[in-house]
Structure 1
Amino acid sequence: MTDPATGPMAQRIADRIVAALAPTRLDVSNDSAQHRGHMGDDGSGETHFSVAVESAAFAGLGRVARQRLVNHALADLLAPGGIHALVIRARAPGEDA
């Protein structure tokens, strides 16, 4: 799971995904430094993220349905002024990475 030292937005992302999807694995990466000065960079250092999440909630669902579940869990954080970009890798337990 995500280390709280990675920043408050990363922790909020992790907390919301844990509450909504009860993941068996979760990694939240702050990619903001790679996008410094690009569109969506507000200078906070917490605008661009990647999540890799494994959850039984994804079993039997396609890629788009899985991404919708993650987006729903993070809806208020994805609103304007929040997360600018989010890469989602979602799988069910037992699936290949």
Structure 2
Amino acid sequence: MPVATTIEDKLRQAFAPEALELIDESERHRGHGGWREGGETHFRLRMTAAAFAGQGRVARQRAVNKVLAEELAGPVHALAMELRAPGEA
């Protein structure tokens, strides 16, 4: 199964997001650390979920990191996150 599919499945199960966008930015990092042929090494995540209400940026990122610990320890080199609760700009 592609890494992106695994990430999306885990995030949907853990956070039931209103919106989830996962962008593979690997090609932009060609030649940099962690890059490998075939992509799926560098991602940008944009997600809106009620589970983030009342949490600060660091708590939200820690929650995502915990859910994706296996992927972040293996095939994923970098994950940029834009995490919001519903109604936040």
Secondary structure of 2:81 counterpart: strand
Q: Where does the alignment leave 5 or more consecutive residues of structure 2 unmatched?
A: none
Structure with larger RCO (C-alpha < 8 A, sep 6+): 2
CA-based RMSD of the aligned residues comes to: 1.2
1:84 aligns with 77
Pairwise CA distance, 1:94? 0.7
Aligned AA (2:21): D
More helix by share: 2
Correspondence for 1:57 among 42, 51, 63: 51
Deviations 1:32-52 (A, max 9, x none): 000111110122311000000
**Counterpart-to-counterpart distance in 2, 1:27 and 1:46:** 14
Would you say 1:93 and 2:86 are equivalent positions? yes
1:23 aligns with 17
Would you say 1:67 and 2:66 are equivalent positions? no
Question: Number of aligned pairs?
Answer: 89
Deviations 1:13-39 (A, max 9, x none): 111100111101000000000011111
Runs of 4+ in 1 over 2 A off after TM superposition: none
Q: Where does the alignment leave 5 or more consecutive residues of structure 1 unmatched?
A: 1-6
